[in-house]
Amino acid sequence: MARLVRFRVLDGVGVITLDAEPVNILSAPLRAGLWEAFSRIDANPDIKAAVLLASGRMFSAGADIREFAKPVQQPSLAQLCDRIESCTKPVVAAFHGLALGGGAELLLAAHYRLASPDAKIGLPEVMMGLVPGGGGTQRLPRLIGAQRALQMMISTVAVDASVAHRSQLVDGIVQGDLASGAIAFALNLIEHGSGPRRTRDNRSHLMDGRGFSAAISKARTALKDNPLHAPRRVLDCVEASGLLPFDAGLAFEADAFEHCLAHPQSIALRHVFMAERKIDTALIERDGTAFRPVDPMGKSTVRRLRKAMRAAADHLVESGVSADDVDGAMVAYGFRKGPFGGTGDETRNDTIARRLVAALLVEGSACVAENAVQRPSDIDALAVHGLGFPRRAGGPMRAMQSVGLIGVRKDLRVWGEDSTIWAAPDLLDQAIKDARGFDALG
């Protein structure tokens, strides 16, 4: 196995480099390599400071989300961040490109931070239905205050180096070679006898209790109508950072992370993220951060799904349900508009939503059976990007799996007596045979 962390000593400075290109994902082996390197630095009296760098086009894209479905391998990200922060020698983290999620949390755990002019730092975990899990909700407010910390974590927007410098999130911007600048910074710390500067001990932004409470209250009001679960948990964690001792705040964050990890929204959001990366480029193409169905294969599948949803909606109207109620139910479910093009009164109606989403499952299963797509998750990605299916629900296949496939099959057998729109597909029976459901089918 390739070595994921490089270590060398220059003039009494231990230089640690993440070397897991292309994006330095913080996998279990990489975390173990970092732990070993920091242990060597602490144990060697000839090393007076440490510098943390990364190779490749960015510092780190963060955690490997594929590991979230497995038992945590130690050291966890939170343990690693604590290890870095507790280092007895001053730790200088210098980053270029993007430092996202867990990558950003490594920086927050370091004692000093430097950035290249092109660098950006962000904590976008709520996009996956999660809160930061490496102490980010506790360290970031200590460095830039509750209001800015909440804005970064809830908006998911990465801030560039100049903004980070102005807010004192980073100590300086290095013009020229980043490694040389970071080592020179570390040598200067050694020369002046500057020791560790631990973020956990910084309460300068938490001393104004009234201002802190006002920031929490303002954010809570702004989130009142937000349908996502994770932003509220981020808010709770940031509030805890100002009310609890640091270690208790970390424990609060860890509990929030575990609750988010098990929440249906996070499962769905992570599912769509992986579906976007598995789907054939003949079905969906990526344009920057956006995904679009491709003509003819992707768009033809989207048309089939839209036609199936409209047929199910028409059937309900013929049965006495108003078109406004159908539209309103689907908007309340998370669509921007209903199958008839309106928004109705946006009243949640689980029965209507369940029947229309079930119709999408039936048509999506037909697409899989006919090899119009390769796997059920392709249908989810196409529904999200072609139909406007709510991302937080994961697409029709994932959404129905979340509510229980056995119950869905029971409903289809009843509804199928009225119309073939809801004829239970063979693919559903196959999915029910495996605990992984549709995930087991590709």
| Catalytically annotated residues | 105, 125
Q: Is 141 exposed, middle or buried (0-12, 13-18, 19+ CB in 10 A)?
A: buried
Q: Letter for the amino acid at 359?
A: A
- Torsions phi, psi for 320 (to 5 deg): 115, 0
Please count the residues of the chain: 442
What 331-338 contacts at long range (C-beta under 8 Å, 24+ apart), as own/partner pairs, is 333/357, 333/390, 333/393, 334/227, 334/389, 334/390, 334/392, 334/393, 335/387, 335/388, 335/389, 335/390, 336/388, 337/388, 338/313
- Torsions phi, psi for 18 (to 5 deg): -70, 130
Distance (Å, rounded) from C-alpha 275 to C-alpha 271? 6
What one-character-per-residue DSSP string does 53-94 give?
A: EE-SSSSB----GGGGGSPPPSSPHHHHHHHHHT-SS-EEEE
Q: What is the DSSP letter of 24?
A: T
Q: What is the DSSP letter of 384?
A: I
Q: How many CB atoms lie within 10 A of CB 436?
A: 10
- Torsions phi, psi for 60 (to 5 deg): -170, 140
Q: What is the DSSP letter of 393?
A: G
